[in-house]
Amino acid sequence: MKKQKVVVVGAGPVGALAALYAAGRGDDVEVYELRGDLRDPSTVPLNFTKSINLALSERGINSMKNANCPGLVEAVLEETIPMYGRMIHGAKQGKLFEESQSYDVHGRYIRAVDRAGLNKRLLDELEKMPNVKFFFDHKLVGADFRKNRAWFERRSKTLDDHAQNPTKSDPVEAKASKGSSEVEVAFDFMIGADGAHSAVRYHLMKFARLNYQQEYIDTLWCEFHISPSPTNDFKLSPNHLHIWPGGEFMFIAIPSLDKSFTSTLFLPASRFAEIDAQPEKLVNFFNENFPGVAGDLISESDLRKQYDENPHLPLISIKCSPYHYKSSVVILGDAAHAMVPFYGQGMNAGLEDVRTLFEFLDRHRPNILQADPDALAVEIDAHTEGRMMALEEYTKQRTPDAAAINDLALRNYQEMRSDVTSPIYRLRKWVEEALNNYFPKSGFATQYSRVSFGNERYSVVEKEVQRQGRWLLSGIVGVGLIPFVAWGGWWLWRWNRASHTGRGLTKWAAILGSKTEQIGRKFT
């Protein structure tokens, strides 16, 4: 049977996992990446900053398990740090305090993972496979998804390498003239996993009637680094995600394997502008809003230096549909649904995209395998038809799920920067966890546990959480009405007794009228 050629654009975690899935099914896979080898420390990230630590949860882990690469998940998990909950930081009457809020009543946890380390593991697994080729420093500059052709511009950094080793570095289909920096690549199927500013999505828009929505929220982020203590230990609890909630902004810290913390300031653009105009106020701003950070965790001079040197970057949310065009191309991860980072689901959702996509492809693979092996044209048609059906089903299912987690991530920012200190938030969390723990058949669970510790579709999670909210609200209203119902019943009973005598009836009617008037005045 003819092998299918799969071109993956983007060698980040999502693209690398997609390549592993495709290669594991016997396809010939070529991975193209705009940057240099991402395992090389000298490779500069696209946002020109250190890669912030990521939260790895059940969806991402499950998706890697289904890649069927022995030892992969175990190796990845060995290089993670369990985070059992949030540690809320603040100050009361001038004294610092910490308050731990567990993620899950059953003790489940998410994991802090270094993006570069995870990426390296996935790329190393790919490099072991004989049917995978890498093409770093290649920029997608054109694509024809009807003819299944793509054009990549080779960056000058690697031109000499290509000239010296053309059989290994150049695609078979790329027959660029001598001295040219552009190659043409033929493919059967392209997977775009090239991030929020996806070149694949840009070219897909020329072929598919793609609805596209892009939103920048009024918040920028700046990364900070908290070094280990003088005794080479963590300065904070390593098993928590640390939050300094500020109402309309926040500061967070995530542990790293080297006992440092990768920290991030999330702040409205206008507040960044105020600090930029008066830099001397930076330390005071931190002392007032994030007590214990300036001086104790980061020296004041280092705080100023990091604020000045690290870029202040925007946060983008992207929704689009469809994710594919016929049988030729599909986009995954941030290319399809970039989201703000406040749920820690961006990477996990992207990895889950891969698992979901290949479940649909596998579902239609039997149609492909039933093709006549002696008739190449019939075989190609079977591949194409099966893949087209799979991509249609993938877009239909995944679009509402991606929209749901995008919305949940936006709403979770409110929870992290403000609601975590709210009594109402804590009460609802306690009630939901108690019901889940003592009455598991009730189906109640917190939104966070549904999202982070299960594989239930995001759109289903959103609906279930809304249903739970309505039930809880009904319960609270019902409990609140009990005293009023009892009071009304008591007055009715007294009225019934008094009604046996005219004088008593008149007396109780007067009292009841007086009480009713008092209640009316209170509500108005």
Residues 246-296 pLDDT 10s? 999 999 999 999 999 999 999 999 999 999 999 999 999 999 999 999 999
Q: Which value, in Å, is the radius of gyration of the alpha carbons in the chain?
A: 29
261 vs 236: CA distance, rounded Å: 9
416 vs 221: CA distance, rounded Å: 15
Is the full-model pTM beyond 0.85?
Answer: no
* CB crowding 123-145: b at 16 or more within 10 Å, else e: bebbeeeebbbbbbbbbbeebeb
pLDDT band at residue 176 under the 50/70/90 scheme: very low
Which CATH number belongs to the domain containing residue 408 in this structure? 3.50.50.60
Are 57 and 173 members of one domain? yes
403 in any annotated domain: yes
262 vs 50: CA distance, rounded Å: 9
- pLDDT tens-place string over residues 389-423: 999 999 999 999 999 999 999 998 888 887 877 78
511 vs 518: CA distance, rounded Å: 11
Are 25 and 154 members of one domain? yes
56 vs 266: CA distance, rounded Å: 21
315 in any annotated domain: no
Q: Is the dihedral of CA 70, 75, 78, 82 positive or negative?
A: negative
Are 376 and 503 members of one domain? no
Provide the mean pLDDT of the chain.
85
182 in any annotated domain: yes
Domain that holds residue 500: 478-523
- Domain edge (last residue) among 369, 398, 414: 414
447 in any annotated domain: no
List, in order, residues 6 or more apart from 105 with CB less than 8 Å away: 433, 434, 436, 437, 449
SS3 content of the chain, % helix, strand, coil (to 5): 50, 20, 30
74 vs 276: CA distance, rounded Å: 45
- Amino acid identity at 190: M
- Spatial contact of 86 and 99, defined as CB atoms under 8 Å apart: no
Are 407 and 486 members of one domain? no
Are 405 and 500 members of one domain? no
Number of domains observed in the structure of the chain: 2
Are 51 and 133 members of one domain? yes
- Domain edge (last residue) among 414, 446, 462: 414
**Average pLDDT of the residues in 45-72:** 83
**Cβ atoms within 10 A of the Cβ of 117, count?**
17
Question: Comparing 163-172, 181-190, 391-400, 449-458, which segment has the lowest mean pLDDT?
Answer: 163-172
Residue 452, token pair as written in the block: 């982070």
Q: DSSP per residue over 451-503, as a string?
A: HHS----HHHHHHHHHHHHHHHHHHHHHHHHHHHHHHHHHHHHHHHHHTTSHH
pLDDT of residue 395: 98
- Domain edge (last residue) among 367, 398, 414: 414
74 in any annotated domain: yes
Are 349 and 497 members of one domain? no
pLDDT band at residue 53 under the 50/70/90 scheme: confident
171 in any annotated domain: yes
Residue 471, phi then psi, degrees to nearest 5: -65, -45
Are 46 and 159 members of one domain? yes
284 in any annotated domain: no
Report which secondary-structure segment, H or E, holds 287: helix 282-289
Residue with tokens 């909950």: 85
- Spatial contact of 350 and 14, defined as CB atoms under 8 Å apart: yes
Are 206 and 327 members of one domain? yes
272 in any annotated domain: no
Q: How far is CA 263 from CA 53, 88, 233, 251, in A?
A: 9, 14, 17, 7
